[in-house]
Chain A
Amino acid sequence: MTMENLERMLTEHPFFEGLNKRCLQMLVECASNVRFDAGEVIFREGEEAGLFYLIRHGRVSVETFAPNRGPVIIQTLGEGDLLGWSWLIEPYRWRFEARAVELTRAIALDGTCLRGKCAEDHELGYELMKRIAYVIENRLQATRLQLLNVYDGIRS
């Protein structure tokens, strides 16, 4: 995979939409192209969170273990989604397990490498934080709706 190809993939991913070339070039140095077969575990709860992923094709289930219910899926992510932000937040450990539901292609970004670059280059750091905050906000909204049990609906 050439640097040009990786840079193109990053540019095309919605997560980095509108990011300037200088920042993209810094990101390319921390990026690699990865694929997971259906059923393959991408990371496990409690493991060190070194990488995060931008999904290009396929679907990934985010799972946890619920007492009395066994393993449950709490969310499915797909094309255009970001998988994982534990690499950014201490103690840098995954809180959930992620598994490819079908053949999945993604860009992996090295969190340790990125943390270093963000500390040095605050424009890159701000751009990344802004984008990740947006993802976290969306996931928080979705979780709130799940908690509300929106389908039950008591009529006014």
Chain B
Amino acid sequence: MVADLSDPMVPSPFCLQKVRKETYDTFTLELEPANGADGFPFAAGQFNMLYAFGIGEAPLSISGDPAKPQTLVHTVRAVGAVTQAICRLKRGDVLGVRGPFGNHWPMEEAVGSDVVIVAGGIGLAPLRPALYYLLSNREKYGRIAVIYGARTLEDLLYKPELEQWRSQFDLDVDVTVDTAPASYRGNVGVVTTLIPRARFDPFHAVALVCGPEVMMRFTVRELESRGVDPENIFISLERNMRCGIGFCGHCQFGSAFICKDGPVFCYAEIQPFFAKREI
């Protein structure tokens, strides 16, 4: 039996199985359907609405492996009432899940190309499923470059996995932080400074970018100046959401709804709105 998510407005109960502290304010949660049903399939880049009972709902990207849908994985940064309540949950606690919603990263379209993943801060969470997918289908893609930036070493997500990815010969992983103690042997500088050095063919590459908007703006500029076509740059956007399914209009962005037409957008299509404030 698959978890019943047939009414997109009714949350299904999921039970918290495991919590891992990633940073001082960010946690990765593993959830399973509370009624013993199977998990539900999802595509890399999609999100769920997670409901902390009695408090409210928040859109959160799925950060687990699309090939392992039984366990639903989310990485949550506690910034306000809902996300703080979600991060306070303990093993065995139940929360409501609606989803999966939205579109996904263009994994099929990227077949045969190099893929460059650029993530900033919590932006690595929605990109991790894409990386899992690429690694499970490694032979279908050219070079894979992962460029990940965070404020400090303490702010890096998925540290054990990052180490493992860095040791893989079929993947280039570059991590950078804004400042570090002198004993640090890794890279220091903003994420955009790694783009000119990353190993991929800009004329045959698809770029997947996620992070705060200002970081994505500068990243896109850097990718373009390396020669990546805006048609091949994809970014994941965030706006306040309520329904998650294109009814309420809360997440409007230009003529699109981020929950339904996004959250992943081809940069060439949203270029006119992207740099504008207030949209």
Contact = CB atoms under 8 A, between A and B. Distances in A.
Interface of A: 59, 61, 63, 69-76, 78-80, 99, 101-102, 138, 141-142, 145-146, 148-156
Given A73-B184, A152-B151, A155-B238, A146 B197 contact: no
Interface string B206-227: 0000011111001000000000
A151 B178 CA distance: 10
Interface residues of B, number: 36
Contacts, number: 96
Given A155-B239, A155-B240, A76 B215 contact: no
A78 B197 contact: yes
Contacts of A73: 179-182, 184, 188
A75 B197 contact: no
B11 interface: no
Contacts of B179: 72-74, 146
A151 B211 contact: yes
A153 B214 contact: yes
Contact of A150 (B182, B184, B190): B190
Interface string B240-279: 1000000000000000000000000000000000000010
A110 B168 CA distance: 41
B213 A153 contact: yes
Given A61-B188, A70-B182, A101-B185, A149 B151 contact: yes
B215 to A, nearest CB: 4
Given A74-B188, A75-B189, A156 B239 contact: yes
B181 A151 contact: no
A150 B178 CA distance: 10
Nearest to A38: B185
A55 B278 CA distance: 43
B188 A150 contact: no
A75 B150 CA distance: 14
B239 A151 contact: no
10 smallest beta-carbon distances between A and B, as pairs: A153-B212, A151-B121, A71-B182, A150-B215, A145-B190, A73-B188, A76-B187, A76-B188, A151-B120, A146-B178
